Amino acid sequence: MKTTLKDWPKVYRKLKKLRGVTLKEKVLLAQGLAATPEERLQMHDNHLRSLGLYSHWDRKKCGFKLSE
């Protein structure tokens, strides 16, 4: 099944009966499964930007352990 991020409602319908997971988690899981790798990377970058942790130095200031 080849999907893009806009197709996440189709994937969500299949995950709807998943037990022990909140609605928010189901939606996020459906979006991640439906997205292409490029879309997932873009979603990840947008999330880091929203937290103010996009650059290496911003993450280092917050105490994130960085691989070296």
* Whole-structure pTM value: 0.69
pLDDT tens figures, 24-66: 999 999 999 999 999 999 998 898 889 888 887 887 887 777 6
Task: Print burial letters for 7-24: b (CB count within 10 Å at least 16), e (below 16).
Answer: bbeebbeeeeeeeeeeee
Q: Is the predicted pLDDT of residue 68 greater than 60, yes or no?
A: no
Pick 63 or 21 by higher pLDDT.
21
HSE-up of 46 (CA within 13 Å, CB side)? 6
The rounded distance, in Å, linking the Cα atoms of 68 and 53 is: 18
pLDDT classification of 9: cutoffs 50, 70, 90: very high
